[in-house]
């Protein structure tokens, strides 16, 4: 079932940890050259490593680039939010195109998870109300 | 296409409606962001009022322009010739005008029919229950679903299920009923009816969805404030009633012309958090329909004055209509 799902999500470019970090740098800034990205990354990496990573992201269609003097300037093609939305969309689409039993199993797990989340949320709200009631009682006694 | 005097008037009315409404609706759509930011700074009842007027203003202003200028200018200045050719663009706009009206009317008729049928069933199978402060007896339903809503447009009735009544403490019940009473006194169902009747920019785009959701949120907040009346204990009772009702399970899908206690689970956290913070007493609910009717009357009086002082205004409108026909 998992391999089934993985093959179905092939259309969404898979990103490695370094690629994600590079994308995050680019999402945070308008336009970056290879040197800018090297400087902005927390972990110091070789110039050529970042250049190759940026080139790979460009080929995956996630970045646009234009030549300025002798270097390329890179920009993202998708906003961070759009990327996340696309990932979520692919994930859900992948879940829903499976065989009928696996689809039902996954959906019921999803519903159960949402239900658990709702119950936890209501518990939290009730706790808040209880705390507020205690505070009001204390204040009226004072 | 050649049309006689009356059909031409109808065609012109529909085309003008489409054109004016499109322009006004687009202007309104562009101002929605600013209006929502403004609304966030106002008290909930004022915010709801602002967003409601913004939502129905394209329809109201378009109808006003039609009734005050277009129809009189046509009736006064158009010669009753046998027939006149109507251009394709005018015909297309008239068709689109008819289409957006038909869509609005259809969804309104569906909602009204759904509400009337539901209320008829409630009256048939439910029991009448006298609730203090309610002008007519509430309808008590023996249902598992937690229902507490004000239903209907002209004479709204309170509908409540036994599950909900039994599941709440006396204080929670009182707070919940006060909330529903606030919806009734603010005539929220009439506003819902007018919103349904008001076409969107282009109906299939649903460009006013954010505005309508925001209006619905502020309406709930305003009803919460009315129910609490600035009293922290009452606000707490209402907050705990909301959580208790949410725990009882999902409400059945009711018509848009229902004002329910918990219409949207997504807003629940925000509503409860708001109720836990001290809110000022909102005072007596402001009348909405009277100022609306007064301003409509004042606008009509202004239009008549403009026509009397400056009769050429009608001939200018007539020239514009002639261009539209061609």
Residues in chain B closer than 8 A to A125 (CB atoms)? 239, 243, 268-269, 272
**Interatomic CA distance for residues B148 and B129, integer angstroms:** 13
In a domain, A34, yes or no: yes
In this complex, do B276 and A133 lie within 8 Å of one another by their Cβ atoms?
Answer: no
Residues in chain A closer than 8 A to B265 (CB atoms)? 118
Number of domains composing chain B? 1
**Interatomic CA distance for residues A55 and A65, integer angstroms:** 9
Of residues A5 and B198, the one with the higher pLDDT is: B198
Q: Does residue B30 surpass a pLDDT of 80?
A: yes
- Strand partners of residue B150: B158, B259
- Work out the pLDDT band at A66, boundaries 50, 70, 90: confident
In which region does residue B249 sit, left (phi positive, over 0), alpha (psi from -120 to 50) or beta (all else)? left
In a domain, A92, yes or no: no
CA distances from B156 to B76, B121, B127, B161 (A): 43, 15, 16, 16
Is the domain of A42 the same as that of A73? yes
Question: In 3D, which of B152, B151, B132 has the Cα closest to residue B261?
Answer: B151
- Strand partners of residue A76: A63
* Lowest-confidence segment of A76-85, B6-15, B53-62, B66-75 by average pLDDT: A76-85
Q: Does residue B137 surpass a pLDDT of 90?
A: no
Q: Do the beta carbons of residue B218 and residue B133 sit within 8 Å? A: no
Q: Does residue A8 surpass a pLDDT of 60?
A: no
Q: Which one of B233, B246, B268 has the shortest CB-CB distance to A136?
A: B233
Residues in chain B closer than 8 A to A114 (CB atoms)? none
**Interatomic CA distance for residues A42 and A58, integer angstroms:** 22
Question: Is A126 part of the contact surface with chain B (CB cutoff 8 Å)?
Answer: yes
Chain B residues whose C-beta is within 8 A of a chain A C-beta are 232-233, 236, 239-240, 243, 246-247, 265, 268-269, 272-273, 276
| Probe site for chain A from B272, B277, B278 (most A CB atoms < 10 A) | B272
CA distances from B38 to B211, B215, B324 (A): 13, 13, 37
In this complex, do B265 and A118 lie within 8 Å of one another by their Cβ atoms?
Answer: yes
Residues 6+ apart with CB under 8 A from B269: A121, A125
Question: Is A88 part of the contact surface with chain B (CB cutoff 8 Å)?
Answer: no
- Work out the pLDDT band at B54, boundaries 50, 70, 90: very high
Helix, strand, coil percentages, rounded to 5, for chain B: 70, 5, 25
Is the domain of A72 the same as that of A21? yes
Question: Is A122 part of the contact surface with chain B (CB cutoff 8 Å)?
Answer: yes
Number of domains composing chain A? 2
- Strand partners of residue B141: B161
Residues in chain B closer than 8 A to A132 (CB atoms)? 232, 236, 276
Of residues B253 and B42, the one with the higher pLDDT is: B42
Is the domain of A129 the same as that of A65? no
Q: Average pLDDT for residues B39-62, to the nearest whole number? A: 91
Residues 6+ apart with CB under 8 A from A6: none
Is the domain of A111 the same as that of A41? no
Is the domain of A19 the same as that of A47? yes
Q: What is the pLDDT of residue B6?
A: 83
Question: Is A117 part of the contact surface with chain B (CB cutoff 8 Å)?
Answer: no
**Interatomic CA distance for residues B86 and B92, integer angstroms:** 10
Minimal Cα distance from A121: which residue of B?
B269
CA distances from B257 to A71, B88, B148, B189 (A): 62, 39, 13, 5
Q: Average pLDDT for residues B23-38, to the nearest whole number? A: 89
Beta strands in A15-106 (DSSP E): 63-68, 71-76
Q: Which of the given ranges, A100-114, B268-282, B310-324, has the highest pLDDT on average?
A: B268-282
Q: Does residue B266 surpass a pLDDT of 70?
A: no
Is the domain of A52 the same as that of A107? no
**Interatomic CA distance for residues B181 and B178, integer angstroms:** 5
Is the domain of A62 the same as that of A106? no
- Strand, coil or helix: A64: strand
Q: Which one of A126, A132, A136 has the shortest CB-CB distance to B243?
A: A126
In this complex, do A125 and B233 lie within 8 Å of one another by their Cβ atoms?
Answer: no
Q: Interface pTM (ipTM) of the complex?
A: 0.71
Q: Do the beta carbons of residue B271 and residue B179 sit within 8 Å? A: no
- The mean predicted confidence, pLDDT, of chain B is 86
In a domain, A114, yes or no: yes
Q: What is the pLDDT of residue B194?
A: 92
Q: Does residue A4 surpass a pLDDT of 70?
A: no
In a domain, A86, yes or no: no
Q: Does residue A39 surpass a pLDDT of 80?
A: yes
Beta strands in chain B (DSSP E): 2-3, 84-85, 127-129, 138-141, 148-151, 157-161, 258-260
Q: What is the DSSP string of B67-136?
A: IIIIHHHHHHHS---S-EE--HHHHHHHHHHHHHHHHHHHHHHHHHHHHHHHHHHHHHHSEEE--TT-SS
- Work out the pLDDT band at A5, boundaries 50, 70, 90: very low
Q: Which one of A118, A121, A129 has the shortest CB-CB distance to B239?
A: A129
- Work out the pLDDT band at B203, boundaries 50, 70, 90: low
Q: What is the pLDDT of residue A138?
A: 86
Domain span at A55: 2-80
- Work out the pLDDT band at B106, boundaries 50, 70, 90: very high
> Å from B78 to nearest chain A CA?
55
In a domain, A90, yes or no: no
Q: Average pLDDT for residues B157-176, to the nearest whole number? A: 91
Q: What is the pLDDT of residue B202?
A: 66
In this complex, do B243 and A118 lie within 8 Å of one another by their Cβ atoms?
Answer: no
**Interatomic CA distance for residues B231 and B237, integer angstroms:** 10
**Interatomic CA distance for residues B223 and B259, integer angstroms:** 10
Q: What is the pLDDT of residue A3?
A: 41
Q: Does residue B201 surpass a pLDDT of 80?
A: no
Of residues B143 and A26, the one with the higher pLDDT is: A26
Residue B86: HSE in the Cβ half-sphere, 13 Å Cα cutoff: 24
* Lowest-confidence segment of A97-106, B98-107, B223-232 by average pLDDT: A97-106
Q: Does residue B285 surpass a pLDDT of 80?
A: no
Report the sign of the C-alpha dihedral through residues A121, A123, A125, A127, in that order. negative
In this complex, do A136 and B236 lie within 8 Å of one another by their Cβ atoms?
Answer: yes
- Strand, coil or helix: A69: coil
Angle between helix B188-197 and helix B170-185 axes, rounded to 10 deg: 50
- Strand partners of residue A32: A74
- Work out the pLDDT band at B23, boundaries 50, 70, 90: very high
Q: What is the pLDDT of residue A83?
A: 83
Question: Is A137 part of the contact surface with chain B (CB cutoff 8 Å)?
Answer: no
Is the domain of A68 the same as that of A105? no
CATH code assigned at A41: 1.10.10.10
Q: What is the pLDDT of residue B261?
A: 81
Percent of chain B with pLDDT over 70: 95
- The mean predicted confidence, pLDDT, of chain A is 79
| Probe site for chain A from B228, B242, B243 (most A CB atoms < 10 A) | B243
């Amino acid at each position: 079932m998992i391999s089934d799902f993985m093959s179905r999500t092939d259309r969404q470019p898979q990103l490695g940890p370094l690629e994600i970090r590079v994308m995050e740098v680019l999402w945070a800034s308008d336009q970056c050259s290879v040197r800018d990205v090297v400087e902005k990354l927390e972990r110091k990496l070789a110039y050529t490593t970042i250049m190759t990573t940026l080139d790979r992201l460009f080929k995956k269609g996630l970045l646009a680039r234009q030549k300025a003097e002798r270097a390329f300037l890179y920009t993202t093609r998708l906003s961070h939010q759009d990327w996340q939305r696309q990932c979520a969309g692919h994930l859900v689409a992948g879940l829903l195109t499976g065989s009928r039993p696996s689809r039902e199993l996954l959906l019921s797990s999803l519903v159960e998870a949402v239900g658990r989340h709702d119950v936890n949320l209501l518990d939290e709200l009730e706790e808040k109300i209880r705390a507020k009631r205690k505070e009001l009682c204390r204040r009226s006694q004072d | 296409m050649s049309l006689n005097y009356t059909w031409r008037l109808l065609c012109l009315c529909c085309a003008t409606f489409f054109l004016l409404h499109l322009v006004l609706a687009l202007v309104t759509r562009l101002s929605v962001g600013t209006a929502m930011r403004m609304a966030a700074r106002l008290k909930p009842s004022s915010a709801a009022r602002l967003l409601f007027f913004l939502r129905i203003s394209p329809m109201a202003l378009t109808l006003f322009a039609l009734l005050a200028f277009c129809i009189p200018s046509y009736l006064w200045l158009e010669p009753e010739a046998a027939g006149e050719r109507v251009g394709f663009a005018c015909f297309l706009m008239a068709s689109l005008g008819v289409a957006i009206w038909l869509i609005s009317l259809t969804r309104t008729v569906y909602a009204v029919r759904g509400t009337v049928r539901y209320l008829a069933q409630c009256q048939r199978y439910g029991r009448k229950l006298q609730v203090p402060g309610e002008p007519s007896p509430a309808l008590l339903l023996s249902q598992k679903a937690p229902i507490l809503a004000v239903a209907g447009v002209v004479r709204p009735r309170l509908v409540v299920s036994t599950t909900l009544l039994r599941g709440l403490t006396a204080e929670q019940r009182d707070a919940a009923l006060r909330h529903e009473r606030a919806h009734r006194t603010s005539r929220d169902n009439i506003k819902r009816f007018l919103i349904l009747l008001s076409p969107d920019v282009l109906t299939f785009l649903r460009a006013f969805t954010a505005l309508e959701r925001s209006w619905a949120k502020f309406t709930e907040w305003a009803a919460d404030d009315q129910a609490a009346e600035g009293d922290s204990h009452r606000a707490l009772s209402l907050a705990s009633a909301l959580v208790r009702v949410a725990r009882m399970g999902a409400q059945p899908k009711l018509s848009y012309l229902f004002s329910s206690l918990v219409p949207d689970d997504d807003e629940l956290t925000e509503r409860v958090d708001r109720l836990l913070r001290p809110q000022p007493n909102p005072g007596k609910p402001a009348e909405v329909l009277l100022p609306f009717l007064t301003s409509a009357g004042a606008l009509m009086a202004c239009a008549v004055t403009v026509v009397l002082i400056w009769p050429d205004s009608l001939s200018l409108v007539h020239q514009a209509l002639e261009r539209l026909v061609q």
